[in-house]
Structure 1
Amino acid sequence: MSDVSINAENFCKRLKIFFEDWQNNEKKNVWGETDTVVIFTGSSSTTIRYMKSISLQLWLFGYELPDTIMIFHKDSRELRVLGSATKANLLAPLTEPAAKEANIKLLIERMAKGDEGISQVRQFISSHVPSSSSGVASLPNEKHEGRTAAAASAAVSSSSSAPIIDASPAIAHLLAVKDAQELLNVKKAAMLASKVVKDWLVPLLEEGKRLRHSRLSDMAEGIITEPSRIHVKLRPENCEIAYQPIFQSGGNFDLRFAAVSDDQALASEGVVIVALGARYSNYCSNISRSFFVNATKRQESQYRALLAAQEAAIKALKVGAPLTDPMDAAIEALKQAGEPDLVSHLGKNVGHGIGLELRESAWQLKSSSSSSSNNNNSSNNNNNNNSNGPVFKAGMVFNVCVGLTGLEEPEASDPKAKKYSLQIADTVIVAPDAAKPAEVATNFMNKGWSDVNFEEEKDEDEDDEDDGDRTRG
């Protein structure tokens, strides 16, 4: 970490926002009656993972700090940090600006190595988490690896007689609205993801290449992490996948982010679904498109209805409107498109918040009926709710994803094409006022019928990886 530094201006601004959000009496429904917050991380990992503790570190510092403990004190406006000597040196230049710009005392302790360091973790928490605290907020449901995290978890549980309150809803609320720099990172990630589909995948589909789904996934990852291959001018060191790219066709469809691209070749008929997400400077984007090869009229009608539903959902992202509006609008759009039977094939929501985490689950776009039931059974709702629940705010970002599962086309000539799903997803930014439309950050890849439909005449001499050329329309 000797070659990196933390943006002091961003750190001070966001640390100040943290304390203001916490100290605002109107927001006790997310922070509860807490005066101490303890956040810790465990060992580093090469796998993709999304955790509130890591997201908070990225938001404050711009970097993940493994094996680090942070203790926030509301009344004294202090942030105490225990970490390795390297991390302490990285944070040291922030102490003076934190005091001057945010009126917050930043206190840093260096953690010793080995068993001495583990003992120091216990002592650090027991010394700075008051036994008489009115409430301690932490992240008890997170599962970290390593001795530091294990020691911290045990120490938090035993240090105070006050109840441990889950800080997840409060951190989700804190990170929901993105500032200008965050939105720029989201837009860069979204541009990259949509250009991968437009400039790499679409030409491949036009050529009729029948590559394996798993190979396509690996190829897409390589392009996201090396964007110059599609002439996108972004710093490659800031470009990552948000999840393993997903390619599906031939009757086997799973619309979850956890879906795995199998070793089957792209189907020569029916539906092809691609879903991929890019990260830029830790901020996520997502795009999904459904493509068709020799589609039937029935499939065209279903797709047009799905597109109308997704566009209606996007239009419903307006400042001050309830988060239930997009799904209600999508359902109504399916009915207006003459496809009311498709409503039963919709998922449980039409998207969710996105940012430092791929899925900000506190901000799901559910229907008004399901949200009303959930709100009646919950005493810890998000702040700034109206009677219908949480509302949209300027600068929020959403993955607006409308999917249909369990569809069938008996007229398909290929048996594998008879069962299919459909999905359209875009990364969308809520505009500053309700009179302006939401910004679709992934709009580099169009989604009209002529953009996703391919007509192909089978070549009698086709091989496994190459069909005849296709035309879109």
Structure 2
Amino acid sequence: MSVKIDQGIFWSRLKRIFDNWNKGGRPWAGGVDAIIVNYGSQDDESEIYSRTSAIHLFLFGYEFPDTVLVFTEKKLTILCSKTKGKYFESLGKSQRGLNLELMIRNKADKDASNFATLVSMLKKSKKGTLLGWLPKETQRGKFITRWNQAWTKSGMKAENVSLGLGRVLSVKDRPAQKNVETAARFTATVFKRYMKNEIESICDEEKKVKHQKISEDTVKCFEKPQKFDAKIADKEDLDVCYDPLVMSGGLYDLRSSATNDDKYLDFGQKSVIICKLGARYKQYCSNLTRTIFIDPSTDMEKNYKTLINTYLACYKILKAGTRISQIHQVATGTIKRSNKKLIQNFVGCGFGMGLEFRESNLVLNEKNQQILKSGHIVNFSIGFEKLKEGSKTYAMQIADTILITQEGPKLLTPVKRAWKEIAFIMNDDDDEEEEEDNQPAFEDHYEARRRRKKDEAEAYKKQLEKDKEQQLLAKKHQEELLRRLAKTTIDSSFDHKKAFDYSKIRSYKSVSDYPSYAKPNQLYVDIKGETLLVPIFKQLVPFHISTIRSATKSEEGAFTVLRINFAAPDMQFKNRNDYIQAVPQDKHFIQELSFKARNSENLERSYFNIQELRKRVRNRIKEKEDKKSLVIQKELKLLRTGGVPKLRDLSVRPPVTRRKSTGILEGHQNGLRFINSRDGVKIDIIYENIKHAIFQKSEKTTEVRLHLQLVNPIMCGKKKTEFMQFYIEVISSSQDLGHSSRWNEADGLNEEQEERRRRKKYNKLFHEFTFKIQQLSQKYGNPLEFEEPFRQLAFNGVPNKEKVEVIPTHDSLVALEDKPKPFCLALNEVDVAILERIMFGLREFDLTFVFSDYTREPLRITAISKKKLEQVKSWLRTSEILHYETRQSANWK
């Protein structure tokens, strides 16, 4: 990571902190004399949102753990390591009447002299009696522990200044506003172009998909942000604020801390689906919520119109100068005028956002007397919960990211919310088209009838030949199936997972290993030890994170309740908890623990840390299983006689490193080697491990590519992959719309000629490379043949998520442009093909492939044009694949 702190932004924002601090008042505890911000040691899975990390990001744009910031009268002093100090040196020593001093840590005396100097500075600042800090954020590490011991002995009274610092953070300058605008634009685009379309597709095709699966698939959109927003240059700047949320089926949680359940998406009559999505760009947050209705009732529509009216009434007053409590008053007043009964179901108006997802000092409720200022960013939200429709319970909510200005609100997430855009009637009736009479008007009636009879006879004859071919294939298939079944032995245990060995679970060797900062009367999540410490009779009892099945948080009146469910005998475990397989029946287990508190801060922090730690453990186990399931490849034998076939400046999918880079593909005796140009990382692919090698020219595509489908997966970076794809972008996939051009102009013609030249050049280079590899592999006894797609047999369909061009090759069916994973089907693995939804009136049909290995889930390509039906059937016959037709769409899962 190349760290470069923006000098102008740093001094400008530092001045804002000092100006606000000097005003004093309640947010600054009446006016403290000095302020300290301590940042301790951090793990990868530490808390995402905290006021301390927000201050670092606000000033520097980066987080610097094991660092102390000391604000005195007109000076900021930074105590940090020598390495971190180099980043701060470029900021200079003074600007705008403020000074900056760097102090380098001294490990020889464990910073005793540095601490003494800092304490002396604190006492000399203003009156030197009142110190401001952030007491609610626990910072870990020996360095911060020693520093806390040093300043607490100073005799200064310490006060909480979190509110004062929060008010500084809540007003965003122009650079911060641009980051929020980028995050919000990406959020809106992903929702419109993927998340909403995906849910509509699931409902339309009546698929069984879990909320968690939709969430995970939506997160994958963040891996290739340029597909949705070309202005985002580096995907490392982008992240999710939280896992995308999908709620349906009567279980709705409208709070910002909600999580996905493991239920299937409910798209039955009078169903309500709530979708929440938030992107984070350069650490600045955004949020969007929309509600989708399936076959809604009249009452649902009336309630939603009340929701929209309330939203619009409040939206008008979201501008600088409005008192926050007034927003809540307008909301409740509008609801009472529209439908008094809904006032008991009303849920909040939202909160401020920025470097923290939820700015606690800017909650839009009736108690907050703050005035909105230009530069505030709010997650403006209106919702109703616990609504009834017959025996069903449902909720509805809309939320947008809004920038407050002097003129009024600026909507940053422009996604349609009108009733006609979010209410769907599931009607499968298609309009039948009348057949046109294609016979020429001048043709004689009797001649036309004679020709028609002749054509019908020929068509009937051809159909008999096709049916005969299919009968022969069916007979051959049945004989082959009987032979296979005769050899098959059934292992009744094939579907059982190995039981988890609970004797291997150990959080600590002894009580002395407990974290020293864990309190005996509070829940504590030990990130490093992957353990939840639970207070039972004033004793901390450790529970390893692998024993926790789920955690839920709810509000009960003035109390916050945290429920933790543990693995116990006779439980049905879900796939997402792969580390919990089976619990021994002869042991005693705690099944559930509940904790209730008025002050929700520790419970909320514990809940968040439990969820994040469980996610980390799951990911680690998945990575470990991926590596464990790998088949050891043969060692690559290098070609040392000269004349090594090479292709240079190739991009690769999946990426070898986190950053986009190019490399060189080389051919050797028994395999290929890709060398990444950025850091020299090597990926070896043995010829014997290549199932299909496909060369696709750049004809109707922007890329020329080599696709290698593997027999056994290999590791690419830290992920397991079943394919490698090498390509060069022959022409740019994007076009500069800022310059107009016409094809009859000279520059337009030159551009067209240059594209043709590049296509020809790279098609030739790739073709020569594949020819050399085929010769080389044959020479050393590992023959490898490259296939080329038959474009004349291509058809459009949806093998994964998007509609793409699907093209047959000699031994496979491919869609190499499909994202995120190219589609490649080996024809020799197919047992039978089913053509589904073949009926009059439908313009599209589906093609399902059943594999010879019946343990594999059938593969379906949907939404194929009916015009391509005969072409597809002809290709199946040519490939000797038995196929059947059906009017229905079968559920193969």
Task: Kindly indicate whether the alpha-carbon contact (under 8 Å) linking 2:375 and 2:405 is maintained by their aligned counterparts in 1.
Answer: yes
Shift of 1:294: 1.2
Per-residue CA deviation, residues 250-281 of structure 1 (Å, 9 max, x unaligned), is 11111122222122121113111111211111
State the partner residue of 1:310: 311
- 167, 187, 194: which one pairs with 1:193? 187
CA distance in 2, matches of 1:394, 1:178: 8
Task: Kindly indicate whether the alpha-carbon contact (under 8 Å) linking 1:125 and 1:155 is maintained by their aligned counterparts in 2.
Answer: no
Task: Kindly indicate whether the alpha-carbon contact (under 8 Å) linking 1:352 and 1:363 is maintained by their aligned counterparts in 2.
Answer: yes
Amino acid of the structure 1 residue aligned with 2:349: V
CA distance in 2, matches of 1:49, 1:420: 31
Q: Are 1:425 and 2:387 an aligned pair?
A: no
Mark the CA change 1:448 to 1:335 in structure 2 (over 3 Å): closer, same or farther. Answer: same
Instruction: Could you tell me which runs of 5 or more consecutive residues in structure 2 were left unpaired when the two chains were aligned.
Output: 430-836, 838-845, 847-856, 864-893
Shift of 1:222: 2.2
Query: Aligned with 1:94: secondary structure?
Result: coil
Shift of 1:148: 2.7
Shift of 1:112: 4.1
State the partner residue of 2:64: 65
State the partner residue of 1:219: 217
Query: Aligned with 2:92: secondary structure?
Result: helix
Q: Are 1:108 and 2:102 an aligned pair?
A: yes
CA distance in 2, matches of 1:274, 1:147: 43
State the partner residue of 2:83: 86
CA distance in 2, matches of 1:153, 1:450: 59
Mark the CA change 1:10 to 1:421 in structure 2 (over 3 Å): closer, same or farther. Answer: same
TM-score between both structures, scaled by the size of structure 2:
0.46
Query: Aligned with 1:71: secondary structure?
Result: strand
More helix by share: 1
State the partner residue of 1:262: 261
State the partner residue of 2:385: 405
CA distance in 2, matches of 1:149, 1:423: 43
Mark the CA change 1:238 to 1:95 in structure 2 (over 3 Å): closer, same or farther. Answer: same
In the TM superposition, what are the counterparts of 1:29-428 in structure 2 within 5 Å? 29-31=26-28, 32-47=30-45, 49-74=48-73, 77-96=74-93, 99=94, 101-112=95-106, 116-117=109-110, 119=112, 122-123=115-116, 125-130=118-123, 133-159=128-154, 161-207=155-201, 208=203, 209-235=207-233, 236-269=235-268, 270-336=271-337, 338-347=338-347, 349-367=348-366, 370-371=367-368, 389-410=369-390, 418-428=392-402
Query: Aligned with 1:324: secondary structure?
Result: helix
Per-residue CA deviation, residues 99-128 of structure 1 (Å, 9 max, x unaligned), is 1x3222211112245x85465674454343
Shift of 1:339: 1.7
CA distance in 2, matches of 1:226, 1:306: 35
CA distance in 2, matches of 1:289, 1:121: 53
Answer with 139-148 or 269-278: which moved more: 139-148
Task: Kindly indicate whether the alpha-carbon contact (under 8 Å) linking 1:226 and 1:239 is maintained by their aligned counterparts in 2.
Answer: no
Query: Aligned with 1:450: secondary structure?
Result: helix
Shift of 1:362: 0.7
Mark the CA change 1:91 to 1:448 in structure 2 (over 3 Å): closer, same or farther. Answer: same
Task: Kindly indicate whether the alpha-carbon contact (under 8 Å) linking 1:111 and 1:120 is maintained by their aligned counterparts in 2.
Answer: no
Shift of 1:166: 0.6
Amino acid of the structure 1 residue aligned with 2:344: S
More strand by share: 2
Mark the CA change 1:319 to 1:43 in structure 2 (over 3 Å): closer, same or farther. Answer: same
Query: Aligned with 1:156: secondary structure?
Result: helix
Query: Aligned with 2:123: secondary structure?
Result: coil
- The structure showing larger relative contact order (alpha-carbon pairs under 8 Å, at least 6 residues apart) is 1
Per-residue CA deviation, residues 397-427 of structure 1 (Å, 9 max, x unaligned), is 11111121111110xxxx6xx1111111111
Query: Aligned with 1:106: secondary structure?
Result: strand
Mark the CA change 1:127 to 1:210 in structure 2 (over 3 Å): closer, same or farther. Answer: farther
CA RMSD of aligned residues (A): 2.7
Per-residue CA deviation, residues 122-147 of structure 1 (Å, 9 max, x unaligned), is 44543433287231000011122322
- 381, 400, 422: which one pairs with 1:452? 422
Amino acid of the structure 2 residue aligned with 1:29: R
State the partner residue of 1:384: none
CA distance in 2, matches of 1:290, 1:116: 60
Shift of 1:457: 4.0
Query: Aligned with 2:70: secondary structure?
Result: strand
Query: Aligned with 1:129: secondary structure?
Result: helix
Amino acid of the structure 1 residue aligned with 2:178: L
CA distance in 1, matches of 2:371, 2:336: 25
Query: Aligned with 2:416: secondary structure?
Result: coil
Shift of 1:361: 1.2
CA distance in 1, matches of 2:148, 2:302: 54
Query: Aligned with 2:76: secondary structure?
Result: strand
Computing the radius of gyration from Cα coordinates, the structure with the larger value is 2
Task: Kindly indicate whether the alpha-carbon contact (under 8 Å) linking 2:335 and 2:342 is maintained by their aligned counterparts in 1.
Answer: yes
CA distance in 1, matches of 2:161, 2:5: 25
Per-residue CA deviation, residues 160-196 of structure 1 (Å, 9 max, x unaligned), is x232111111101111211111111111111111111
Amino acid of the structure 1 residue aligned with 2:80: G
Instruction: Could you tell me which runs of 5 or more consecutive residues in structure 1 were left unpaired when the two chains were aligned.
Output: 372-388
Amino acid of the structure 1 residue aligned with 2:184: A
Amino acid of the structure 2 residue aligned with 1:12: W
Amino acid of the structure 2 residue aligned with 1:89: K
Mark the CA change 1:112 to 1:216 in structure 2 (over 3 Å): closer, same or farther. Answer: farther
Amino acid of the structure 2 residue aligned with 1:438: P
Mark the CA change 1:112 to 1:264 in structure 2 (over 3 Å): closer, same or farther. Answer: farther
Shift of 1:19: 1.4
Per-residue CA deviation, residues 39-84 of structure 1 (Å, 9 max, x unaligned), is 011223333521111111111111111111010111xx11111112
Query: Aligned with 1:79: secondary structure?
Result: strand
Query: Aligned with 2:385: secondary structure?
Result: strand
Shift of 1:151: 2.9
CA distance in 2, matches of 1:326, 1:226: 38
Amino acid of the structure 2 residue aligned with 1:53: T
Shift of 1:152: 3.2
Query: What is the aligned-residue identity percentage?
Result: 28
Mark the CA change 1:111 to 1:210 in structure 2 (over 3 Å): closer, same or farther. Answer: farther
CA distance in 1, matches of 2:350, 2:114: 40
CA distance in 2, matches of 1:46, 1:85: 22
Task: Kindly indicate whether the alpha-carbon contact (under 8 Å) linking 1:140 and 1:153 is maintained by their aligned counterparts in 2.
Answer: no
Mark the CA change 1:109 to 1:219 in structure 2 (over 3 Å): closer, same or farther. Answer: same
Mark the CA change 1:277 to 1:127 in structure 2 (over 3 Å): closer, same or farther. Answer: same
Query: Aligned with 1:151: secondary structure?
Result: helix
